[in-house]
Chains A and B, each alone.
Chain A
Amino acid sequence: MKKIWIGVGVAAILSLVGCGGDKPPETAKTDAAAPAAGGAAAMPDEANGGTVTGKVAFTGDKPKMATMDMSANPACERAHKDAPQKSEEVVVNGNGTLKYAFVWVKAGLPDKNWAVPTTPVTLDQNGCMYKPHMIGIMAGQNIEVKNSDPTNHNIHPQPTVNQEWNESQSPGSEAKMKTFARQEVMIPVKCNVHPWMRSYIGVVGHPFFAVTGDDGTFTIKGLPPGTYTIQVWHEKYKDVPEQQVTVGAKESKTVDFTVKG
């Protein structure tokens, strides 16, 4: 009988182990990719630097996106009562280009500490969707996570390089300021309350990136003269070939990408 009680005691202690932590681990606020304290942080020279522009074209049959089933939450369903929400996995614009493609300078930049923008990038939860579906930030730059919905969400980024976190956000609560310390392209973000909600965050150690919008174009300004590898990341089409481009001072080059559906 004594052994039984010892066993129960051990199990009870085990069950209390889970109470040991405080809040879930938050993303580190210190920035490994940000300029060292006191050091001069480099800024993109938009007046004298090079510019790379282009578009991400889509060819082939336009995929039919699934309609989200939001019946699990009446508040979400009400937000789309006039037009059911389609998945944003592949959004082909009217001009045959692709929306939500992350374009960034993958290689070729001089080894500098780039200044981190002080303005946060907003990721809103609106209509039980993340708006926008994809954002790009610099490592160390703040993301302002808002909940504009009359319902509850949890925000759960799933990085592999950065610190993972998962926090709840009730309607009307304050926006959360979050950062990711290290470069990572891309970090999926999900809401486990509403499993159709998905977003992507591109975290880069420099300011030379863009996300394509309604016209499928991108512009990367202020590049120091040099030869760069430009990469496109898309959540469905993963094998877009990288391209090399050389730009001089005040020079503008066009780099177009084509994604086959």
Chain B
Amino acid sequence: MGNPERTRKPGVWLHRYSVFVACCTLLLVIAGGLVTSNDAALSVPDWPLAWGKLIPPLEGGIVYEFGHRVAALAVAILSVILAFWLQKREPRAWVRRLGWIAVGTVLAQAALGGVLVRYLTPKPASIAHACLGQLYFGLMVAICVGQRKATQERIPVLPLMAAIALFAQTILGAAVRHNAAGLLPHIIGAAVATILVMWAGLQVLMTNTEDINLRRPAMVLLSLTFSQIFLGMGAYLSRAMTADAPQPMPAMVWLTVAHVAVGSLAFGAAVSLAMLGTPGGMAVA
């Protein structure tokens, strides 16, 4: 038997497949956002079955909730395949480990989804479900980026802090969405996260004028974060303006879902930047 670290060779198809799973994860996040924004989370009162069947009547809010469950199942299967593929082909142990952590996360997320249905969306579980989804997307991004890294380097402090701040914003945003907290902490968090993102992004841009592999995620991160501020304002205003509406209005739904999706993408960009490293910058081991 040879050394498995030597015989394993990551192929281009494994990386493409990882990116595909990450894209599917983003679609799953969007599907989850549509469920919450359309107030459809409890349109299917049972779990794991739906209306006592494998396929429920597809009408009204059931379309969103059941669609989210199907997407979650698909992503869980894709995630298991990815973990096995990484186990077989990926030479670095820490990337293989991330694959299995992702499987554990998506299974825990599925269990949390079941808890939400069976216990009628308790607020802490609803917030945890939103945050774990974000964390899962971050893991998928880390797996994609990790396969492209030559070595496991030190993680730069500023992009790491930006990623942590953006994740904290997910927690605060989910708390606002599920009526567990006021808007003010989320606004203050947005200011802090924006400063950290600007600091991290500009440092990368100024110290790496030639390296497009670092400049690209930095520019994506900055663009997404600024877009996110306006989407957040739009989501809030649309919610306030349609507060008297008898049902969720499309403008509110789409602005809120876009806010959730771009938040995930910004977090993913910060994870990418933290993973890729910034030579010369402060770093943690």
A-B pairs under 8 A by CB, number: 116
User: What does the 1/0 interface line of A54-89 toward B look like (CB < 8 Å)?
Assistant: 000000000000101100110110000000000101
Q: Determine chain A's interface SS by DSSP, over half rule.
A: loop
User: Is A7 located at the chain interface by the 8 A CB criterion?
Assistant: yes
Q: Are A7 and B100 in contact (CB under 8 A)?
A: yes
Give residues of chain A (103-146) contacting chain B, Cβ–Cβ below 8 Å. Answer: none
> Given contacts A11-B104, A18-B114, are A4 and B38 in contact (CB under 8 A)?
no
A17 cross-chain contacts in B, Cβ below 8 A? 111, 114-115
How many angstroms from the CA of A13 to the CA of B59 in the assembled complex? 32
Minimum CB–CB distance from A78 to chain B (whole Å) comes to: 13
> Given contacts A7-B100, A11-B108, A168-B51, are A192 and B43 in contact (CB under 8 A)?
yes
Q: Are B120 and A166 in contact (CB under 8 A)?
A: yes
User: Is A37 located at the chain interface by the 8 A CB criterion?
Assistant: no
Q: Are B97 and A16 in contact (CB under 8 A)?
A: no
Segment of A149-157, A180-188, A205-213, A225-233 engaged in the interface with chain B: A149-157
Q: Are A194 and B62 in contact (CB under 8 A)?
A: no
How many angstroms from the CA of A4 to the CA of B100 in the assembled complex? 6
How many angstroms from the CA of A87 to the CA of B244 in the assembled complex? 10
Q: Are B45 and A10 in contact (CB under 8 A)?
A: no
How many angstroms from the CA of A11 to the CA of B108 in the assembled complex? 5
> Given contacts A72-B59, A195-B38, are A18 and B100 in contact (CB under 8 A)?
no
Known A15-B108, A66-B246; further 20 A-B contacts with Cβ < 8 A:
A11-B107, A11-B111, A15-B107, A16-B111, A18-B48, A18-B117, A18-B118, A72-B61, A73-B60, A76-B60, A151-B57, A154-B45, A156-B45, A170-B51, A170-B57, A192-B39, A192-B41, A193-B59, A193-B60, A194-B61
- B residues whose Cβ falls under 8 Å from a Cβ of A: 38-48, 51-52, 57, 59-62, 65, 96-97, 100-101, 103-105, 107-108, 110-115, 117-118, 120, 244-248
